[in-house]
Amino acid sequence: MRIGEAVMRPVVEIDRLTLPPQMFFDDITPADAAPHMDWLHPRFYDRGTHQCYLSQHAWLIEVGGKRILVDPCVGHQRHRPALSFYDMLDSPFLERLSALGVEPESIDYVFCTHLHLDHVGWNTRLQDGRWVPTFPNARYIFSRADDAFWRADAAGQPGEALAFNAGVYDECIRPVIAAGLVDLVEAGARIAGCITLIDAPGHTIGHMAGLLESGGAGAVLAGDALHHPLQAVYPDRPIHADNREQARLSRHLLLGLCADRDYWLAPAHFCAPHVCKVRREGAGYRIEWPG
């Protein structure tokens, strides 16, 4: 899709993940989903089994002769036993990127909204027994706060880290830092003159979103501020992995930006068509899908 002068395309690693709502939501029930079944089923939710469907994809943005890759997925044959659907994944990611006419050497920037395993996996790849940067000519853009948290976790300092992210810092973050390719940033940083980074904490302590703006149009690269479209219509409902209040405020911030500016909402896990528009409705929101 075109955002002003920018072209934005998903690079899909997994077309559909089927997960029980209880894996994410504390209190969204089939009764909550029922009023939205006209658009939920069958793209995003199965009305019979009450399973949620999610996608695993990155965003490729091309603008002004630059290529930006956002949230480069899980990676190939990664040992991720805590999440069986990611464990030793046979990832087609680089092949699908190549099918778009893009080779790893041509990527200028890699922006990770946060440093969970499914957003940093292709930062590196295994070469001669070593993890090396997949995108050797790119600047890797990481949240300074998220890096500090996961760096401390990798060093064994006590915290509230999640077991599923064990080893990810050493495999996917430290090698690109060692290669001198990383910029640690805070809110207000800009990428390629068209993406402004904004704080959206809650899912992780340093989670950031990207505000892509070009030619009067825009998209919010929301990362994991929302995992599933039901969170757009029930933004106050918590999910297990989040700092609840921070995440609630971040969801409202990003949904409000989309609604007030008529920008696309572009998270990392919505199934195709992967993006939507957000409209205010009373005290909440409704969503509209393209096409």
Q: What is the pLDDT of residue 160?
A: 54
Tell me the pLDDT tens digit for each residue of 240-281.
778 889 999 999 999 999 999 999 999 999 999 999 999 999
Tell me the pLDDT tens digit for each residue of 124-177.
999 999 999 999 999 999 999 999 999 998 888 765 556 889 899 999 999 999
Region 205-224: mean pLDDT is 98
Distance separating alpha carbons of residues 71 and 224, to the nearest angstrom = 10
Round the average pLDDT of the chain to a whole number and report it. 95
User: How buried is residue 282: exposed, middle or buried, by Cβ count under 10 Å (0-12/13-18/19+)?
Assistant: exposed
The pTM of the full predicted model, rounded to 2 decimals, is 0.96
- Phi and psi at residue 263, in whole multiples of 5°? -95, 155
CATH homologous superfamily of 2-288 equals Ribonuclease Z/Hydroxyacylglutathione hydrolase-like (3.60.15.10)
Q: What is the pLDDT of residue 163?
A: 80
Residue 8 pLDDT grade (very low, low, confident, very high; cuts 50, 70, 90): very high
Establish how many alpha carbons lie within 13 A of residue 66's alpha carbon, considering only the half-sphere containing its beta carbon.
Answer: 16
Show the tokens assigned to 82: 């805590």
Please check the confidence at residue 237 and state whether its pLDDT lies above 90. Answer: no
Distance separating alpha carbons of residues 91 and 74, to the nearest angstrom = 8
What are the boundaries of each domain within the chain? 2-288
Quote the DSSP letter at residue 106: G
Q: What is the pLDDT of residue 239?
A: 83
Q: What is the pLDDT of residue 26?
A: 76
